[in-house]
Structure 1
Amino acid sequence: MSKANATPPALKMSAEEITAFLDEEFPQIHLGGRSFIIEEVAPMAARMRMLYHERHIRPGGTISGPAMMSLADLALYVAILAQLGPVALAVTTNLNFNFMRKPAQRDLIAECRLLKLGRTLAVGDVAIRSDGEGEMVCHATGTYAIPRG
């Protein structure tokens, strides 16, 4: 069977299950209030929203790079969890960011797709856009190490 006709892998966790898992295992991401919302998980993909808040702003009035990095890293992790189930010890081994334009002062949307999901590594990319805008403000690629079960 060719890859074009291959059946997409079934999801092991829903957006709601991943949210509950993150709330339990990583409550620190909500210090100061919830910023990250999982909007959708799909085979080898995830869509997340980072709510606009002044705590994400850097001097000059734009959303900070570290805030966008957090969003991209979390989107990759969420896409992996959707495919593999609750793997708390999967860790980021590489992140690469290209900041392309100044984001608008509104929510950011991250669309992640996993390019490869192997037994020990997952590789993906993330496109981040200001809500309601078509052009990317940031593009990220990342690799996660997956612990052997």
Structure 2
Amino acid sequence: MKNGSYSRLVNSAAAESAGMIARKYGDDKKSRELASIELLPSLSSAEAEVILTSKMPSWVLDLGLLVEKCSEHKVILRLPWSNRLAREGEIISGAVMMTAADTAAVVAISAACKGYIPMATIQQSTSFKRPVGGEDLLVEAVVGKLGHRIAFVDIVLISSEASKIAATVSSVFSLRGR
């Protein structure tokens, strides 16, 4: 990816996330503040990587997800391209994209909670926008609302080279031990 492209991509994804949060939770001041959070670390990328590698099932680790950025309510993971993740026609499987989105949400919630807590996905709604193949995917998860027992997360999957949105995901998690 060319210099500056990544920044434009992140800003574009942030704008998309901000729009999703405003549509979902209302265009109030708190929603706008959450949507515009800068990438200032609360958990370091290394700490987020530890959560990713120690709390996920081994088959999820086989995806090869990497932590790109981590902040208080936001995480960006990279899903490296692999033929193993594709169906015929070198298109990344929808199941792989949903797994990457779910995993990014867990890491984002962990960042918002300043560490991992047990949680369970209770709802995930995915809208696929376009097929992606032959390139990495960036998976950006933004915690929209975080309560004591529940969290709402919006995720955008973006093709790393074409910088186009491949899918959007809305997830709800039940939090335990918070």
The TM-score, its normalising length taken from structure 2, stands at 0.72
The CA deviation at 1:114 is 1.2
Instruction: Give yes or no for the alignment of 1:40 onto 2:69.
Output: yes
1:30 & 1:133 partners in 2: Cα distance? 25
The match for 1:18 is 48
Residue type of the alignment partner of 2:69: E
In terms of fraction of residues, the more helix-rich structure is: 2
In terms of fraction of residues, the more strand-rich structure is: 1
The CA deviation at 1:19 is 1.3
The question of whether the paired residues in 2 share the 8 Å contact of 1:12 and 1:84 is answered with no
1:66 corresponds to which of 95, 99, 105 = 95
The match for 2:16 is none
2:53 & 2:104 partners in 1: Cα distance? 15
Q: Which segments of 5 or more consecutive residues in structure 1 lack a partner in the other structure?
A: none
How large is the RMSD of aligned CA atoms in angstroms? 2.2
Q: Which segments of 5 or more consecutive residues in structure 2 lack a partner in the other structure?
A: 1-28
Counterpart mapping for 1:1-149 below 5 A: 3=30, 12-26=42-56, 28=58, 29-31=60-62, 35-149=64-178
Where 1:93 maps in the other structure, the secondary structure is strand
The CA deviation at 1:27 is 5.5
2:113 & 2:41 partners in 1: Cα distance? 8
1:103 & 1:71 partners in 2: Cα distance? 14
- Percent identity over paired residues: 24
Residue type of the alignment partner of 1:68: M
1:11 & 1:39 partners in 2: Cα distance? 12
2:89 & 2:143 partners in 1: Cα distance? 33
The TM-score, its normalising length taken from structure 1, stands at 0.85
- For this pair of structures, how many residues does the alignment match? 144
The CA deviation at 1:5 is 7.4
- Does the C-alpha gap of structure 1 residues 11 and 147 become closer, same or farther in structure 2, counting only changes over 3 Å? farther
2:91 & 2:52 partners in 1: Cα distance? 27
Q: Deviations over 1:11-30 (max 9, x none)?
A: 65222112123323336033
